[in-house]
């Protein structure tokens, strides 16, 4: 009985670790979609992390080449003013999907229904919130600087995505702290935006 209990404890800790790393990678995907997936692929290829059987293809050479190419194209595209705003509009579901894949690929010892439920709700929601927050910030930058300030924001997002992805794989606890900070800031920013819109609607209706 003790042996079984120990195994359950080990499986639970591994599951929690996989969920934590996956959520951190999902947050990184909200900043740049392909950066965390590329980092995960390279880590899996090097044997640093273990993937679930259905996602072992991420460690293959073709997957790494494809993700590296997609990462380079995505990074370059975000340095084109106003085209980056279009990418934000189109990239939200892709960022959420990337977060789901990253988390589902790392949760190795849970039933499939629970694995994907956590990935869809937790990771998809985290990636979506971070992406929506940065998209709103980019819209404000475009309006205030006519798009000339967007490359600075793009650089900060790229650095943030790389740092969170690396921390997720090397120091998950610190990565999760960064994710919590991003989620809180994103939620506050979106709430402030919604409050501002509601106030504008009230003023319009009273005229």
Q: What is the pLDDT of residues 119-146, one digit of tens each?
A: 898 899 889 988 988 888 888 888 888 8
- 131 domain-assigned: yes
pLDDT score at 91: 87
Domain count, the chain: 1
Task: Give the pLDDT score at 4.
Answer: 46
- Measured at the CA of 5, the angle between CA 4 and CA 6, to 5 degrees, comes to 90
Would you state the pLDDT for residue 196? Answer: 60
Residue 34 lies in a domain: yes
**Residue 207 placed within a domain:** no
Give me the pLDDT at residue 199, please: 53
141 found inside a domain: yes
The answer to the question of residue 206 being in a domain is no
Model pLDDT, residue 184: 76
**Domain containing residue 153:** 2-199
In this predicted structure, what is the pLDDT of residue 79? 93
Positions of the chain with pLDDT under 50: 1-11, 202
Examine residue 13 and state whether it is found in any structural domain, yes or no.
Answer: yes
CB atoms within 10 A of CB 31: 26
In a domain, 112, yes or no: yes
């Amino acid at each position: 009985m003790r042996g079984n209990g120990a195994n359950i404890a080990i499986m639970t800790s591994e599951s929690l670790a996989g969920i934590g790393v996956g959520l951190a990678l999902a947050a990184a995907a909200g900043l740049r979609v392909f950066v965390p997936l590329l980092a995960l692929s390279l880590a899996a290829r090097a044997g640093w992390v273990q993937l679930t059987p259905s996602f072992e293809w991420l460690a293959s050479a073709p997957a790494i080449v494809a993700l590296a190419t997609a990462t380079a194209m995505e990074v370059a595209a975000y340095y084109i003013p106003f085209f980056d705003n279009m990418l934000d509009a189109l990239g939200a579901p892709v960022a959420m999907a990337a977060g789901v894949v990253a988390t589902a690929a790392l949760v190795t010892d849970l039933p499939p229904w629970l694995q994907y439920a956590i990935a869809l709700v937790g990771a998809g929601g985290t990636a979506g919130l971070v992406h929506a927050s940065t998209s709103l910030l980019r819209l404000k930058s475009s309006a205030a600087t006519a798009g000339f300030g967007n490359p600075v924001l793009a650089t900060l997002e790229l650095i943030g995505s790389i740092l969170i992805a690396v921390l997720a794989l090397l120091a998950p606890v610190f990565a999760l702290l960064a994710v919590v900070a991003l989620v809180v800031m994103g939620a506050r920013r979106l709430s402030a935006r919604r409050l501002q819109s509601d106030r504008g609607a009230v003023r319009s209706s009273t005229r």
